[in-house]
Amino acid sequence: MYIPEKLLFLNEEDVLRLLTPADAIAAAEDVFYHIGTGEVTVGKMVMMYADSQRRNNFHSMPAILHHKGVSGVKWIDTYSAPLPGYPFSHGNLVIVSDVRTGSPIALVGATNITTMRTAGGHGVVQAKYLANPNPQVLSVFGCGAQAKAGIRGFLEGFPSLRQLRLFSRSRQPMEEVQKRLSGRLEVVVCDTPEEAAAGSSLLLMASGAQRPLLTLEQIRPGATVIGIEGFRDLDPRLGKSADKWYLGYKTPDADILSSPRLNPGMTLTMDDVFGDMTELLTGKVPGREREEEIIVSTHMGMGAHDVCCAEIVYRRALERGMGQMLRLT
């Protein structure tokens, strides 16, 4: 029997038109929960280096979302030493297949998905379940694309926010954010990490820095710290000294522990981990139990988040008649 196969191609501009910060948050929460119920299978990430110095790499991140009837894989490059004019990461893709038939159904640009679903997606979900209710102040370390997406996501997820405290090595991006959000909340441009952390109980690490910017001494009781790069820009002592340290999902996030870059000094072990978000959302471990608890949650991300976002984009594109149909047979 001849079965014609076709898939919908959706580029980066399509993604920006079809995926909202609220979608990215909902997708992350959906993935955490359904991993916990056994309805999402997260495949092992495979990394390949493109140079002998191991500075530039490609990696694939597969997942099956059984409850949505789709599978997919994210294909991404991260180049620490790109050619002149090329960014750190670009041209990323998610391919989505129908679990029932095995046929590919969509090819979706993943660079914007990656930016939206990280700090502004699963980072918001981690804070939603771990922070004290109705935070007034958010501190953000970094002001690049990832931090800006995180700010958008946190403003979506926490309407109680009244002040944003920013620290970055470059002042201009912070001032641009300050100008853009001046009608929404007070934005304080800070000169030091200490100033950014002052008076805040909700802190987002999205700096890309190669050394810890936030230290144990800067954290006050009741604080919730969200890290998207392990402990690369976050004091690793917090993994031991905080009342609770949660991972996003233990299986992929355990790689933090074996990486000198993400676990400086290699001081942290799985014995320091209280639980992960998949366990928390399905009631297997408790979340915050006391107002004064200091809680840290780190998550490097996984392809399941991207596949879930790509599935949302695909369904919405079908409804609106967007994208380009590609025929394979």
Nearest-angstrom CA–CA distance, 188 and 195:
10
What's the pLDDT score for residue 256?
Answer: 76
**Measured CA distances, 51 to 54, 90, 262 (Å):** 5, 17, 21
- pTM of the full structure: 0.95
Report how far Cα 306 is from the mean position of its chain's Cα atoms: 10
Nearest-angstrom CA–CA distance, 45 and 50:
16
Nearest-angstrom CA–CA distance, 217 and 219:
6
What's the pLDDT score for residue 156?
Answer: 97
At residue 52, does pLDDT exceed 80? yes
What are phi and psi for residue 9, nearest 5 degrees?
Answer: -95, 125
CB 138 within 8 A of CB 153: no
Query: Considering only 14-18, 195-199, 263-267, which range has the smallest mean pLDDT?
Result: 263-267
What would the mean pLDDT of 194-216 be, rounded to a whole number? 94
What's the pLDDT score for residue 214?
Answer: 93
At residue 133, does pLDDT exceed 60? yes
pLDDT band at 195 (very low <50, low <70, confident <90, very high): very high
pLDDT band at 263 (very low <50, low <70, confident <90, very high): confident
* Comparison of pLDDT for 13 and 264, the residue scoring more: 13
CB 42 within 8 A of CB 250: no
What's the pLDDT score for residue 259?
Answer: 78
pLDDT band at 265 (very low <50, low <70, confident <90, very high): confident
What would the mean pLDDT of 8-17 be, rounded to a whole number? 98
Segment 86-122, tens digit of pLDDT: 998 999 999 999 999 999 999 999 999 999 999 999 9
CB 244 within 8 A of CB 286: no
Segment 161-171, tens digit of pLDDT: 999 999 999 99
pLDDT band at 148 (very low <50, low <70, confident <90, very high): very high
What would the mean pLDDT of 129-153 be, rounded to a whole number? 97
Residue with tokens 């909700």: 202
* Comparison of pLDDT for 113 and 261, the residue scoring more: 113
At residue 193, does pLDDT exceed 70? yes
* Comparison of pLDDT for 263 and 148, the residue scoring more: 148
CB 301 within 8 A of CB 118: yes
What's the pLDDT score for residue 1?
Answer: 53
